[in-house]
């Protein structure tokens, strides 16, 4: 009896899967997409040196003195409140970046907070950070840089030199990276996101064997990324946007740690666009530094850089071009050498949140449902200038082509025609439209479309 029941369930589920042969997201991938936007908190020794950050130079120049790490007023609660008040849903800390210095109490990496005078060698920025995230309901993530290490002489994953010494240091360094990863993934509770800076390579490329550690210790986290696996992919730019269309499907299990000639060709086209027929569910990340205006592009705090904070207009367009293109936005923020989240940056995030709240405060019309056509009434006298679509996430990306039409004075006309919807499709119109009915027609799909949201907004913007 029970066997028959299980068998029937299997037949039903198999039939359902057969019907919609698209890759499906894991729970944490859905959580990632629904978060819509979060931050990468970049913090490293050179925040404290008072000099401009030059990545190319810094990668090959060890820091003269790590005792400069001295954020006297460090207050991660203040950071995370700024992020929460700015509407971010997750926060990822650069626990190690390219200097090799680690912002935690490491028993593996001595070049860490154990070795500084600050807080008498007992400080743990990552512990504070995670505690603040949990306090304020922000999902915590860890960013681990192992590709570059100016302290240990590692460049693009490789220990310097070609001698037997270099080979042994490579083996040792790979174990060192694995052991740091074990520490970070086991001592700070469940993490939302594990980000390996420039990838974690992979054993088959001569790198550390990170993936089994992540799978064992943080099975519920987004893993990003090595040559074996990526749960999200880089969106191919640091512009905070992806082009349209941007599919959640991808032809490979990795983002861009390997096979780079293919995945990075044509200005990272595959990373940007994905592939509707790809067998792997791997939504795109759109990342950009908050301090990226006026020709600057700064992930790390530098003196007199507040003028480089992006405008709220620009950030809103980023949101439209990332979240609205089925991608997740990551803004890079950087606390100052005093240990505080700068007020100007906090104010900007707050203003972005206010803007988005206003844009999405009240839909002109909104509906959900299944099937190829959804139609809804537009309240009399209302106009709209923003189309908002969402597929049901657990079903994957089924829609391949759609059209949104409005009926105005008895005749239907196209509002927008598109391909990818996925988590969210946002489209602003050049000017407000009016009409009495709005219709979504799915022209192409793999299986039956399931629409979580078909909405029109008046963005007031």
Given the rule CB under 8 A, which residues bind its own copies? 59-62, 64-67, 106-108, 110-112, 114-117, 121, 150-153, 155, 159-166, 168-169, 172, 175, 179
119 vs 437 by CB, closer to its own copies: 119
Distance between CA 205 and CA 54 in Å, rounded? Answer: 28
At closest approach, how far in Å is the CB of 147 from its own copies?
A: 14
Residue with tokens 């990306």, as numbered in its chain: 397
Residue number, 209 or 345, with CB nearest to its own copies: 209
Residue 78 C-beta: closest distance to its own copies, Å:
28
Closest CA to 324 of 348, 294, 360, 278: 360
Among candidates 187, 273, 245, which has minimal Cα distance to 417?
245
Cβ proximity to its own copies: between 54 and 343 the closer is 54
Beta bridge partners of 15: none
Cβ(195)–Cβ(93) under 8 Å?
A: no
Minimum gap (Å) between residue 158 Cβ and its own copies: 10
Minimum separation from the CB atom of position 162 to its own copies (A): 8
- Shortest distance, position 372 Cβ to its own copies, whole Å: 58
Q: How far is CA 206 from CA 215, 253, 307, in A?
A: 20, 19, 43
How many angstroms separate the CA atoms of 371 and 391, rounded?
A: 11
Q: Residue 166 or 403: which CB sits closer to its own copies?
A: 166
Nearer to its own copies, 121 or 371 (CB): 121
Query: What is the longest distance spanned by two Cα atoms in the chain?
Result: 80
User: Least distance to its own copies from the beta carbon of 182, Å?
Assistant: 12
Q: How far is the CB of 145 from its own copies (least distance, A)?
A: 16
CA distances from 291 to 44, 298, 308, 355 (A): 16, 5, 5, 19
> Which two three-digit tokens encode residue 357?
């709240």
User: What is the nearest approach in angstroms of its own copies to the Cβ of residue 97?
Assistant: 16
The CA distance from 228 to 255, in Å, is: 9
Nearer to its own copies, 178 or 395 (CB): 178
**Least distance in Å: CB of 357 to its own copies?**
46
Cβ proximity to its own copies: between 70 and 197 the closer is 70
Residues 324-337: b if buried by 16+ CB within 10 A, e if exposed: bbbbbbbbbbbbbb
Q: Toward its own copies, which CB reaches closer, 62 or 251? A: 62
What ranges make up the beta strands (E) of 190-315? 193-196, 222-224, 233-234, 249-250, 280-281, 284-289
Nearer to its own copies, 153 or 253 (CB): 153
User: DSSP per residue over 273-284, as a string?
Assistant: H--TT-SEE-PE
- Is residue 251 within 8 Å of residue 262, measured between CB atoms? no
């Amino acid at each position: 009896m029970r066997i028959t029941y299980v068998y029937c369930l299997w037949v039903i589920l198999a039939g359902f899967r057969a019907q919609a042969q698209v890759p499906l997201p894991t729970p944490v991938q859905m959580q990632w997409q629904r978060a819509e936007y979060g931050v990468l908190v970049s913090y490293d020794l050179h925040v404290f040196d008072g000099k401009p950050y030059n990545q190319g130079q810094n990668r090959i120049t060890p820091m003269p003195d790590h005792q400069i790490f001295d954020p006297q007023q460090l207050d991660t609660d203040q950071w995370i409140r700024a992020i929460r008040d700015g509407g971010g849903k997750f926060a990822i800390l650069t626990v190690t970046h390219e200097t090799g210095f680690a912002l935690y109490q490491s028993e593996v990496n001595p070049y860490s907070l154990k070795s500084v005078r600050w807080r008498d060698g007992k400080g743990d920025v990552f512990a504070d950070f995670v505690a603040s995230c949990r306090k304020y309901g922000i999902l915590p993530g860890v960013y681990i840089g192992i590709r570059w290490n100016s302290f240990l002489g590692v460049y693009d994953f490789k220990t310097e030199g070609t001698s037997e010494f270099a080979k042994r240091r490579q083996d040792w360094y790979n174990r060192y990276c694995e052991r740091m990863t074990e520490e970070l993934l086991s001592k700070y509770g469940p993490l939302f996101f594990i980000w390996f800076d420039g990838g974690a390579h992979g054993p088959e490329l001569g790198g550390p064997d990170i993936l089994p550690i992540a799978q064992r210790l943080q099975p519920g986290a987004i893993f990003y990324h090595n040559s074996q696996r990526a749960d999200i992919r880089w969106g191919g730019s640091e512009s905070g946007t992806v082009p349209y269309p941007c599919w959640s499907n991808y032809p490979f299990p990795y983002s861009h740690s390997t096979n780079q000639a293919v995945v990075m060709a044509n200005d990272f086209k595959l990373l940007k666009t994905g592939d509707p027929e790809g067998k792997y569910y791997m939504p795109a990340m759109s990342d950009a530094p908050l301090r990226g205006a006026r020709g600057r592009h700064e992930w790390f705090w530098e003196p007199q850089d507040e003028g480089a904070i992006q405008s709220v207009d620009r950030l809103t367009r980023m949101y439209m071009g990332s979240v609205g293109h089925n991608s997740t936005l990551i803004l890079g923020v950087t606390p100052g050498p005093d240990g505080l989240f700068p007020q100007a940056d906090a104010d900007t995030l707050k203003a972005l949140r206010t803007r988005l709240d206003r844009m999405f405060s009240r839909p002109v019309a909104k509906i959900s449902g299944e099937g190829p056509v959804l139609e809804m009434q537009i309240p009399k006298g209302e106009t709209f200038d923003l189309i908002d679509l969402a597929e049901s996430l657990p079903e994957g990306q089924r829609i391949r082509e759609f059209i949104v039409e409005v009926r105005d004075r008895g005749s239907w006309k196209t509002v927008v025609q598109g391909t990818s919807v996925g988590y969210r499709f946002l489209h602003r119109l050049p000017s407000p439209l009016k009409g009495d009915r709005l219709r979504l027609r799915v022209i192409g799909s793999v299986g039956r479309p399931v629409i979580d949201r078909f909405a029109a907004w008046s963005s007031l913007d």
